[in-house]
Amino acid sequence: MSDGFIPAHGGYKKLLSHGKAEIVYDATVHFCDRFIDKHSRTHDQMIQAARSGKQNIIEGSMASATSKETEIKLTNVARASLEELLADYRDFLRVRGMRLWEKNSREALYVRRLGHGSHGTHASYATYKPILETRPPGVVANIIICLIHQTNYLLDQQLRYLEQAFVKEGGLRERMTRARLDERKKLR
């Protein structure tokens, strides 16, 4: 039993979804501090939804070794938290009569291009910082909406991959049973 039945886990720092979720969290903290009353429930709820998106990716990744079910569940919780945050940003724009950018608008395409980074690197908060921390609220909200869409796309891809991996490899109990059976075969 050379590899064991507990696979490598906790590689969330390598996940593109985690990197994007971290950008969304940082951007949301700055957005709320700039444009939302610090004493309002909305301020806290938006930051908590962004944090939940990021933290559940981490927790799911760490749980992946012993529970694919938990990993899938927590990745889906991350996705749901970011969807809640997306609704908050849309509400922010709607109640203030601000324009929501179309998916393929010039502005949204610009934000998408920024996310690819240069020389094969991935974007970080620093990539967006100059525009997120200087533009008016409607522009900043739309940029973060674009970032949430990108993160949700990555999480959707991740969930599909996790589903396929579970179907192919099974969960911990099945790996344990296979390992035990393999060990018995060696003893014969």
Quick: pLDDT tens for 135-154: 999 999 999 999 999 999 99
Domain count, the chain: 1
Nearest to 140 by CA among 129, 149, 151: 129
Residue 70 located in a structural domain? yes
Residue 4 located in a structural domain? no
SS3 34: helix
Residue 7 located in a structural domain? no
Residue 52 located in a structural domain? yes
Residue 175 located in a structural domain? yes
Residue 41 located in a structural domain? yes
- What's the maximum distance between 2 C-alpha atoms anywhere in the chain? 75
Structure token pair of residue 132: 């997120």
- Name the pTM for this structure: 0.85
* 74: Cα separation from own chain's centroid: 11
Q: pLDDT tier at 184 (50, 70, 90 boundaries)?
A: confident
Q: Are 21 and 124 in contact (CB under 8 A)?
A: no
Q: pLDDT tier at 33 (50, 70, 90 boundaries)?
A: very high
Q: Is the confidence at residue 58, as pLDDT, over 60?
A: yes
Structural domain of 62: 12-116+125-187
Nearest to 147 by CA among 182, 99, 113: 113
Residue 1 located in a structural domain? no
> Rounded to whole angstroms, what are the CA distances from 153 to 102, 140, 160?
16, 20, 11
Residue 154 located in a structural domain? yes
